[in-house]
Amino acid sequence: MRHSKRIAVGPVQFRIGSDWPEPIAALEQLYAGYPQDEARPADATVCLFAARSWRRWVRASVHSGGDFVVPAALPLPLSMGLLAAEMGMNLQVALGWRRHMLLHASAVARDGRALIMSGESGSGKSTLAALLGEGEWRLMGDEFTLIDPVSGDALAFPRAVSLKNEAIAAVAAQVDAARLGPLMAGTPKGDIRHLIPRAAAIAAMHEPARPALLLFPRFGGAAAIEPMGEGEAFVRLTEASTNYVALGEAGFGALTRLVRETPAFGISYPDSATGIALVEQLWAETK
C-alpha cells in the first residue's frame, strides 16, 4: 500500500497500510512514543483502502480490512480515518489473536496487581481507566485486557485511549493538550478523541500484573456496590471475550481461575468522581 506504519501495542505487532497519507500521519502522532522494532515481523495486518479507485479522491471513503474482513463494516469518511484504523486494529486482534484470552475490558495496575473493568459500551470503563491512569495507576488498556492462560496474569494492551462524548472534556481538563489526538465529531460512535497514555504506561506495557479485582461498572443511578458471584462473573466474561470459544479448554481454565481467584463486584455511579471513589474503596478493601 502507498502509506504504512508499524505499531507495537502490548504483545501485538501491527502493520497498518493506507491508500491515504492522513490516517498514517495521525497514527504517527498518536504512537510516536511507542517502542519501535523494525526487525520484528508483523503479527497482524490492517488495510485502510478505497473500495473503488476513484473513491481515493472523490468523497474519499475509508474501508477497513486486513487479515480478517467483516463484510458488513461500513466505510468512514477520510476525516475519520483514525477511527477506521482503530476499528481495524481491534478487529484483527479480536479475531486473530490466540496466545491469550482476550477480554473486552479496560484495566489499570498498581504494585503489580491489576484492576479489570468489563462492561458494555457506555458503562464508563474506558473513562474510569483513563482517569485512574492519570493518577496513581498504570493504564493497561481501555479496550482489551489479555489473560495469559499459563500464568493467569493480566497483560496490557495500551493502545491510544478512545475517549467518547462527555469523557472528552472530562479528561481533556486534566491532561496536556499534546497528549490528545484530533477531535472527530459525529462519528457513528459519537464524538471521539484519542488520548496518548502516559510514557510510563507505554514503557511498562510488557509487564504482567496479577488480577486482583474485577469490576462491572454501570454509569448512571445512585452509587452502589454489589458483590458478584463466581458464576455470574464467569458468564459475563465469556460474553466479553472474543476468543473464549476458540481457545477451548485453555480458555475455560483461564477464566475459571480468574473468577475463582479474583473478587468481583458490580458498581453503579452517577459521575466519574463517585466512580473513582468506589474503585479506590474496593481496592483498599481487597488488599
Ramachandran sector of residue 209 (left: φ over 0; alpha: ψ -120 to 50; beta: rest): beta
Between 15 and 189, name the residue whose CB sits nearer to other proteins: 15
| 175 lies in the binding site for other proteins (CB under 8 A) | no
**CA-based nearest residue to 139, from 171, 165, 164, 166:** 171
Q: Which of residues 87-126 bind other proteins (CB under 8 A)?
A: 96-99
Does 54 help bind other proteins (rule: CB under 8 A)?
no
- Assess 210 for contact with other proteins (CB under 8 A): no
Q: Which stretch binds other proteins (CB under 8 A): 34-42, 154-162, 163-171, 204-212?
A: 34-42
3-state secondary structure of 167: helix
Q: Does 206 bind other proteins (CB under 8 A)?
A: no
Whole-angstrom Cα distance, residue 97 to residue 100?
7
255's enclosing H/E stretch is helix 249-261
Assess 72 for contact with other proteins (CB under 8 A): no
CB atoms within 10 A of CB 221: 9
CB-nearer residue toward other proteins: 77 or 96: 96
Q: Which is nearer to other proteins, 23 or 66 (CB)?
A: 66
Q: Is there a contact between 145 and 107 (Cβ–Cβ < 8 Å)?
A: yes
Q: Which is nearer to other proteins, 53 or 178 (CB)?
A: 53
Which of 27, 30, 47, 161 lies at the binding interface for other proteins (CB under 8 A)?
47
Smallest distance from other proteins to CB 17, Å = 5
Interface with other proteins includes 41 (CB under 8 A)?
Answer: yes
Locate 61 and state its grid cell: 471513503
Cell of 252: 475455560
Among 42, 170, 225, 276, binds other proteins (CB under 8 A): 42
- Grid cell in block for residue 23: 490516517
- The nearer residue to other proteins, 75 or 96, going by C-beta atoms, is 96
Total site size for other proteins, rule CB under 8 A: 26
The answer to the question of residue 75 lying near other proteins (CB under 8 A) is: no
* Residues near 223 by beta carbon (within 8 Å), at least 6 away in sequence: 267, 268, 269, 270, 274, 277, 278
Q: Would you say 1 or 203 has its CB closer to other proteins?
A: 1
Report residue 209: phi and psi, to 5°. -135, 145
Q: How far apart are CA 104 and CA 145, in angstroms?
A: 7
| Separation between Cα atoms, residue 101 and residue 103, nearest integer Å | 6
- In the block, residue with C-alpha cell 490466540: 98
250-269 residues in contact with other proteins (CB under 8 A) are: 250
Select 119 or 251, whichever has its Cβ closest to other proteins: 251
| Residue ranges that bind other proteins, judged by CB under 8 A | 1, 13, 15, 17, 38-43, 45, 47, 49, 65-68, 96-99, 246-250
